[in-house]
Amino acid sequence: MVFVISKDGKPLMPTKRHGKVRRLLKQGLAKVVKREPFTIQLLYETTNYTQPVTVGIDTGSKVVGVSAITDKEEIFSAQIQLRQDISKLLLERRQHRRFRRYRKRRYRKPRFLNRRKEDGWLPPSLQWKVDAHVRIVNKLSKIIPITKVVVEVAPFDIQKVLNPGIEGKGLPKWPAERI
């Protein structure tokens, strides 16, 4: 699949016509923008007609699944590994900061009213993962004309996985004499 960008920088529909792409590149009517995923930019005016493209994202703590589809076919799919070392790096940074504090004296008045967190604050490791999902969609929107984004957020019912016959919600009902 070759991704195509118009002369204005807007994403067009990707193509599988590799011979046509090769001829456009040889004749100087297109240039290579990226090699991974292979993306070209047209150097001549063309129509901006595109089909509706839906991007589906399956969020996860370690791996994010991404797929872009039209009505007829899948045009992009990937599994993206997320970083797992952010907590460890923050801990290491904190230890360096504490060691530095004990080596040299502080000659300023200590501040104690800076401990309140803002509304919507997330821990840095979670904030990075949220930002990673946004970055993925932004990168895709530069090479694919996205019309709709669908994010799947479905928690697993571990009890249902372990015991497929389980039904209902909440605590089990006990006989009256046991209460």
Structure tokens at 161: 């996985």
CA distances from 118 to 86, 110, 115, 121, 132 (A): 21, 21, 10, 6, 21
> For 66-106, what is each residue's pLDDT tens digit?
999 999 999 999 999 998 888 899 899 888 887 776 666 65
Burial (CB count within 10 angstroms: exposed 0-12, middle 13-18, buried 19+), residue 14: buried
Cβ atoms within 10 Å, residue 88: 10
What is the rounded end-to-end Cα distance, in angstroms, of the chain? Answer: 65
Average pLDDT over residues 139-151: 93
**pTM exceeding the 0.75 threshold for the entire prediction:** no
